[in-house]
Amino acid sequence: MSEKDKDAAAKAEFTKMLGTRTGGAYIPPARLRAMQAEAAKDKTSPEYQRMSWDALRKSINGMINKVCLESVFPDVS
């Protein structure tokens, strides 16, 4: 398999994973890192934009969960 074929296969696999719901499909950590590294090569690609959006969404949700937990249970930090 040539380098060009490997890149095309990785991009196709990542695109397929974008169609699934977040958290729906298990991706082994090594494969996920490889797919993220491939997508990060082009910061204008939809794959990279999706990864950035998911990271931002998770960060915001984590902050909201922390604030909500602290307002309900003031003793929890």
Q: Render 62-77 in DSSP notation, one character per residue.
A: HHHHHHHHHHH-TT--
24 lies in a domain? yes
pLDDT attached to residue 18: 62
15 within a domain of the structure (yes/no): yes
Strands in the chain per DSSP E: none
Q: Is residue 67 part of a domain?
A: yes
Flag whether 77 is in a domain. Answer: no
Q: What is the pLDDT of residue 23?
A: 53
| Domain ranges, residue 61 | 3-72
Average pLDDT of the chain?
77
Largest CA distance in the chain: 58
Look up the pTM and report it: 0.53
CA dihedral angle for residue 7, residue 30, residue 14, residue 53, rounded to 10 degrees: -120
Q: How many domains does the chain have?
A: 1
Q: Alpha-carbon distance 3 to 39, whole Å?
A: 15
State residue 60's pLDDT score: 93
| Averaged pLDDT, 28-48 | 82
